[in-house]
């Protein structure tokens, strides 16, 4: 026979209370376990370095020839090389994919302001202004080499806002001057004069010192490429 007796109310109440308590504890544990929204982490800034001076490298990385041009901003022959010969090299070899060009600073000890000039140019390079500033430094070589007033020479081609930023970079003594890595490479290459063109072809390094006329340089480069 089925019993018609009513269930004990107190037991039902206890069970209901237990179920509610269990659900509350479970919800609380979820809230405790859930991690708080993470705070955005500021990316760690890399130390300012000129070790990888991409703004001084031109042309295809797969070009058969690599031309490493060592110059001194206070060297008159370098000025001629930079302003007269280099544009032709860029046009006929770099832009056509035949060569990759790398500018390298090699300030000579007898030139008082050359290393500082390299620092101005390299700092400008971090602002995307290497071409403009390096050309201006060479163009005004006769002016600033008398008194070291590179600021005055460069201010003629940069707007005031950019010039202010550039001055701050140059004044920062924690910044590597930029010529250090180039000079070290030049010492490994046994560079003893400026300008010097280090030619890398099929893993071999060859050197041409002095301001070689473009036509002679062209003949030599074409001969290398023909091999």
One digit per residue, pLDDT tens: the chain, 227 residues? 434 444 444 444 444 544 444 444 444 443 434 444 444 444 343 333 444 578 999 999 999 999 999 999 999 999 999 999 999 999 999 999 999 999 999 999 999 999 999 999 999 999 999 999 999 999 999 999 999 999 999 999 999 999 999 999 999 867 666 688 899 999 999 999 999 999 999 999 999 999 999 999 999 999 999 98
Instruction: Identify the CATH number of the domain in which residue 199 sits.
Output: 3.40.30.10
How is residue 103 written in tokens?
């500018």
Predicted TM-score (pTM) of the model is 0.76
Under DSSP, the state recorded for 47 is: P
Q: Is residue 147 part of a domain?
A: yes
- Would 16 be classed as within a structural domain? no
The number of folded domains in the chain is 1
CA dihedral of residues 88, 114, 195, 82 (deg, nearest 10): 10
Domain hosting 178: range is 54-226
Query: Within a domain: residue 86?
Result: yes
């Amino acid at each position: 026979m089925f019993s018609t007796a009513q269930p004990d109310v107190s037991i039902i109440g206890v069970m209901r209370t237990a179920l509610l308590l269990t659900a509350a504890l479970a919800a609380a544990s979820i809230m405790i376990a859930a991690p708080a929204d993470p705070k955005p982490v500021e990316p760690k800034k890399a130390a300012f370095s000129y070790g990888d001076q991409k703004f001084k490298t031109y042309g295809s990385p797969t070009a058969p020839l690599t031309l490493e041009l060592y110059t001194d901003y206070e060297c008159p022959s370098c000025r001629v090389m930079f302003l007269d010969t280099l544009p032709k090299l860029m046009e006929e070899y770099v832009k056509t994919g035949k060569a990759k060009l790398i500018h390298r600073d090699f300030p000579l000890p007898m030139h008082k302001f050359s290393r500082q000039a390299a620092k101005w140019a390299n700092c400008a390079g971090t602002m995307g202004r290497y071409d403009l500033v390096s050309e201006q430094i060479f163009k005004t070589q006769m002016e600033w080499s008398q008194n070291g007033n590179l600021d005055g020479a460069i201010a003629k081609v940069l707007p005031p806002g950019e010039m202010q930023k550039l001055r701050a970079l140059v004044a920062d003594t924690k910044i590597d001057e930029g010529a250090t890595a180039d000079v070290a490479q030049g010492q490994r290459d046994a560079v003893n004069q400026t300008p010097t063109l280090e030619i890398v072809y099929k893993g071999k390094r060859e050197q041409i010192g002095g301001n070689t006329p473009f036509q002679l340089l062209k003949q030599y480069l074409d001969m290398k490429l023909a091999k």
